[in-house]
């Protein structure tokens, strides 16, 4: 929402400041580099600004217009768009195994059903599975696998399944795509059984390799919000939820510095040999030292440097 003296944060209502401007031509050029193929002419992308809230440090896109249907039809069709075997899948299953036995689970943004595949391959838990996604092609893949899925968003699902509640709701790398995350999380909370839990995972922004490299997939229109600890704590307090935080084991400082240096020089699409990267470091030792220094100052959570992904368990207070 715009007011006379700025744009207010979609989480806490605080005033924000502009970080950068992102016009549609630039976004399309970066997407073309990312996937090594031109963006189709009919893919609709608007001009954006990236803003940061002064109160909760949440970074968000303005205008708050989510990626178009044509954009998602194109980007989800790219090879290896869907990440297989996310760390969060296994962590959630470990946490569920310690709880009650009767699990009724809704996966919001289920994609092509990879989390369901992991559940069925593991065989540890008997779970009544439901999935939601708004991409027709992904839903068709899920149905071909025999999964119980619906091609609709959570608001539509609530309207047609008013009395359906779940013990567990998951949304892996979905929240960052949503223009109104507070409303989205509140709608999930409405679908919870009294003792139920919501598991949300997102990138932890900025990711370590974003030091001086622009990650087009962690910016609008693909990602409408960039999450950190402060913004998660704030949204949980506003919605009356208790958050618990989990992160995977993080690579060492040196490895992170090499990775961010590599992205800075070559970008994500380039698969460079270790020897070539080491030679590049030898030619630019000052630049590499800058990366090493910045990585050493990365946000610490529970005494450890923040990972690139965070899993949050929300329960009602």
Cα 59 from Cα 223, distance rounded (Å): 10
Q: Which residue has the higher pLDDT, 234 or 101?
A: 234
Q: Which residue has the higher pLDDT, 82 or 245?
A: 245
pLDDT at 4: 46
> In percent, how much of the chain has pLDDT > 70?
97
> Any idea what the Cα angle at residue 218 is, between residues 216 and 220, rounded to 5°?
75
Phi, psi of 195 (to 5 degrees): -105, 20
pLDDT band of 266, cuts 50, 70, 90: confident
Q: What is the pLDDT of residues 173-212, one digit of tens each?
A: 999 999 999 999 999 999 999 889 999 999 999 999 898 8
B/e letters for 133-142, b = 16+ CB within 10 Å, e = fewer, are bebeebbebb
Q: What is the pLDDT of residues 23-78, one digit of tens each?
A: 999 999 999 999 999 999 999 999 999 999 999 999 999 999 999 989 998 998 89
pTM (two decimals):
0.90
pLDDT of 227 > 90? The answer is yes
Cα torsion angle, 173, 174, 175, 176, sign: positive
Contacts of 18 (CB under 8 A, 6+ apart): 49, 50, 51
B/e letters for 265-280, b = 16+ CB within 10 Å, e = fewer, are beeeeeeeeeeebeeb
Q: Are 130 and 107 in contact (CB under 8 A)?
A: yes
Domains of the chain: 2-67 (no CATH), 87-249+307-316 (3.40.50.150), 253-304 (no CATH)
- Residue among 131, 155, 274, 265 at smallest CA distance from 209: 265
Exposed (0-12), middle (13-18) or buried (19+): which is 53, by Cβ within 10 Å? buried
């Amino acid at each position: 929402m715009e007011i006379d003296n700025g744009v207010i944060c979609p989480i806490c209502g605080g005033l924000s400041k502009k970080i950068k401007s992102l016009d549609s031509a630039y976004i399309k050029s970066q997407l073309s580099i990312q996937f090594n193929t031109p963006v189709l002419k009919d893919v609709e992308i608007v001009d954006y600004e990236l803003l940061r809230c002064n109160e909760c440090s949440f970074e968000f896109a303005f205008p708050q217009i989510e990626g178009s249907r044509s954009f998602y039809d194109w980007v989800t069709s790219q090879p290896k768009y869907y990440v297989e075997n996310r760390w969060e899948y296994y962590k959630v299953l470990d946490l569920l195994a310690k709880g009650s036995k009767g699990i009724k689970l809704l996966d919001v943004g289920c994609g092509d059903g990879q989390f369901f595949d992991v559940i069925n391959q593991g065989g540890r838990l008997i779970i009544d599975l439901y999935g939601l996604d708004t991409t027709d092609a992904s839903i068709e893949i899920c149905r071909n696998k025999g999964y119980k899925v619906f091609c609709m968003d959570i608001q539509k699902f609530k309207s047609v399944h008013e009395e359906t509640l779940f013990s567990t709701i998951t949304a892996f790398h979905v929240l960052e795509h949503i223009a109104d995350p507070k409303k989205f999380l509140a709608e999930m909370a409405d679908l919870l059984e009294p003792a139920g839990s919501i598991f949300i995972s997102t990138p932890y922004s900025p990711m370590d390799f974003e030091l001086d490299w622009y990650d087009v997939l962690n910016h609008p229109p693909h990602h409408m919000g960039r999450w950190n600890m402060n913004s998660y704590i704030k949204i949980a307090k506003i919605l009356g939820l208790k958050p618990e935080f989990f992160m995977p084991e993080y690579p060492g400082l040196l490895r992170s510095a090499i990775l961010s240096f590599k992205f800075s020089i070559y970008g994500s699409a380039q698969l460079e040999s270790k020897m070539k990267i080491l030679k590049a470091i030898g030619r630019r030792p000052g630049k590499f030292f800058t990366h090493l220094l910045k990585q050493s100052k990365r946000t610490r959570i529970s005494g450890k440097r923040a990972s690139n992904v965070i899993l949050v368990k929300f329960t009602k207070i």
